Every structure is written in C-alpha cells, then in structure tokens.
Amino acid sequence: MIIFLSVFILFIIFLAAGFIKYLYKGSSVSESVDISIITAAKNEAAVIERFVSSVKNLDYPKEKFELILVDDNSSDNTYEIACRSMENQENLRSINAGIKTIGAKRGALFKGIQLSRFPYIVVTDADCVPSVEWLKICAGEFEKGNDFIFGPAPFFKEEGLVNKISIMENIKNQFMSFSLASLGMPYSASARNMGFSKKTFFQIGGYENTLDSLSGDDDLLLREALKNKIKVSAFYNKNAMVYSSTKKSLKDYIKQKTRHTKSSLYYSIKNKIVLSGWHLLNLFMLLSLLLIFVNINFVWLFIVKIIADILIITVTQQYFTYKFNLAQIFYLDILYELFIIINFFNSIFRKIEWK
C-alpha cells in the first residue's frame, strides 16, 4: 500500500512540475509567417458559418494567411453555406473533397494541404472558434524554429451532463498531455489547435504512416514527427485558445471517445507504458474503496487520490477557462475514470466510423 501511495505522489509531483514548466515557458507573437489554415468539414451545416466568421475575425494580415475548408462529401448543405459565408473574401475558399486517396478525415485534410499556398499549416475543426490572436501566437512558435506545434483546445461550457463529462476529460487530458510534453515526452496533440511546416509534413510521409486507426490524424502524426526527430513545441497562451462545442448526447460522446481511444493503442511503446501505468494506478486507487473490508487502510488510497485530483483540477481548470465546484469535481472525476474503462473496451470491440 505504501508503494502505491509513494508512486502516485511522486508521479503527481512530476506532472505538476511539468505543467508549471509548460505554463511559464512563454510564447511570442508574430505577423511575418505565411500560414494556411486547413479544415475538414463533414455535415457541419449548423456551425460552419460560425467557424468562417471566427476566421474572418482573426487579428492577422489577410495577405499572410488563407483558409482552405474541405467539404468531406457532406450529405447536408455544409458546402453551400461555407461558400456563401466566404463571398468576397479572397483568402478564404471552400472545396469539395471528391474522391480521396486517403480515407476519412485524413483524406480531406491531405487534399487541403496539397492545395495550400503557404509553407506553414495549422489545422482546426469546423465546429471550432479560435481566439482572435491565435495565428499570431502560432506564427511566433514557428518563428522560434519549431516545425510541429500544438496548443490549448478547451470546450464551450454549456448545459447538460455530457458537456460536463467532456470538460472534465478535457481538463485531465490537457493537464497530462501538456505536462509530459514540457518534460520531453509529448504523446497527444489536439487537431483543433495544431500546426506544422509543410516541408515537415511531407518529410515524415504525410498521413501515410498514420493509418493504424480511423482516428489519430493528430496524435499519430505527432508520433511520426517524434520518430523523425522533428522539433515539437506545446504552447500556452490564453489568447491562443481554440474553443469547440462538445457532443450533445452520451451516445455521440462515447462514439467520439472510442475513436480517440483507438488511436492511443498505436502510440509509441514508451508512451503506452507511461499512460497505461498511470491510468491503472488511478483506477486501482479509485476502486480501492471496495477493498476496505479486507483492510480498512485501503481507504487512504482512495482519499489521497481524490484530494490530489481535486487540487489538480481546481488549479488546472482556471487556465482553460473552466470553473467547477468541489461537488462537481468529485463526481465528474469518478465518472471520468469509469469512462476510461468503457472507452477502452469499446475501442477494442466496437466498429469505428468517421461520422
């Protein structure tokens, strides 16, 4: 029992140190980098106008960036709304994916990257709203010599339990991914706020080496960048957030998280060992409450975990514009751990689909 507590506490200290390093490493701004924004959209008619409007509002010289929105053969009028929203905007255009050489979302993104005019690429999703200074900060990261970058991607806070579960998962995942990235072990990058040089993209084989799973156009591309010793940077700036909406129903949430979990099965061996060890330790400490009939001291594993999680979430959430109270943190944290089990088994046994 002492061993489990010691390992857990040491890991928490290790991650906390990484997160502090991530927050305070600093970021710079620039307007001198030519950037292409690439977005794949499939059946996003309800939100596509909002996304295009947010791109129009970006505080960046219009001659220095372009948006290529690739409609991935939508069955609704996403393409028509996008085209109408982009009228008289020379640096914004919408195209049809048509026949793709690569399946799912990757194929649409790849077509956009091929057609892009500029040497640096940032990708985001069609249901997102980037902060107005987003491109300035991405450009600053590229000017530092980084060839692969990723930043914070929080969710809009809305009504409903699914939104709360999604936000809790977002807080925990961003704390973990940015902490490890700042300590030299990046493993996950959200495609809602990610960028790379076009030269690097083709140097590592584009998406050709990321076809292990249907999802993973972000994490598995990061994996390939690391394999090829590409300079990677995780950046934080409150003015570089890219917000998006969560799924509305539990069914859609589970379907989405199943796709994401599936891609994690193809992380590097080192990252799989670290992440699986961490999650198993957390689950054991959470479920240790069931062992108090064997030894009452098992309750301390549960208590230490809950206290540590409350502290981490309370501190971390403010940096991603969230605000949960103690009661919400308590029950949502437990639900988060339980959904890890559900999503893991779904990723193994359930058929995965791209929308």
- Residue 65: half-sphere exposure toward Cβ, Cα within 13 Å: 24
Mean pLDDT across 10-33: 94
CA angle at residue 203 from 143 to 148, to 5 degrees? 35
Q: How high is the mean pLDDT of the chain?
A: 93
As beta bridge partners, residue 148 has 196, 232
> Using 50, 70 and 90 to split pLDDT, how confident is the model at 23?
very high
- Per the CB < 8 A criterion, the answer to whether 77 and 102 are in contact is no
pLDDT at 208: 92
87, 37, 39: which is closest to 64 by C-alpha? 37
pLDDT at 94: 96
Mean pLDDT across 197-211: 94
d(CA 64, CA 78): 26
69, 74, 111: which is closest to 93 by C-alpha? 69
Q: What confidence tens digit (pLDDT) does each residue in 40-51 have?
A: 999 999 999 999
Q: What confidence tens digit (pLDDT) does each residue in 212-239 have?
A: 877 778 999 999 999 999 999 999 999 9
Between these two residues, 353 and 336, which has the higher pLDDT value?
Answer: 336
- Domains of the chain are 26-172+184-246 (3.90.550.10)
Question: Any residues with CB less than 8 A from the CB of 327 and at least 6 apart, and which?
Answer: none
pLDDT at 25: 87
Mean pLDDT across 260-282: 92
154, 355, 125, 105: which is closest to 255 by C-alpha? 355
pLDDT at 353: 67
Q: What confidence tens digit (pLDDT) does each residue in 239-265 have?
A: 999 999 999 999 999 988 888 888 888
Question: Is residue 354 predicted with pLDDT exceeding 70?
Answer: no
SS3 per residue for the chain: CHHHHHHHHHHHHHHHHHHHHHHCCCCCCCCCCCEEEEEEECCCCCCHHHHHHHHHCCCCCHHHEEEEEEECCCCCCHHHHHHHHCCCCCCEEEEECCCCCCCHHHHHHHHHHHHCCCCEEEECCCCEEECCCHHHHHHHHHHCCCCEEECCCCECCCCCHHHHHHHHHHHHHHHHHHHHHHCCCCCCCCCCCEEEEHHHHHHCCCCHHHCCCCCCCCHHHHHHHHHCCCCEEECCCHHHCEEECCCCCHHHHHHHHHHHHHHHCCCCHHHHHHHHHHHHHHHHHHHHHHHCCCCHHHHHHHHHHHHHHHHHHHHHHHHHCCCCCHHHHHHHHHHHHHHHHHHHHHHHHCCCCCC
Mean pLDDT across 196-209: 95
pLDDT at 277: 93
Give the Å distances, CA to CA, from 298 to 4, 306, 331, 334. Answer: 11, 13, 20, 17
Q: What confidence tens digit (pLDDT) does each residue in 82-118 have?
A: 999 999 899 999 999 998 888 889 999 999 999 999 9
As beta bridge partners, residue 234 has 150
Question: Is residue 355 predicted with pLDDT exceeding 80?
Answer: no
Q: What confidence tens digit (pLDDT) does each residue in 321-347 have?
A: 999 999 999 999 999 999 999 988 888
Q: How far is CA 256 from the centre of its chain?
A: 12
d(CA 172, CA 106): 26
Question: Is residue 313 predicted with pLDDT exceeding 90?
Answer: yes
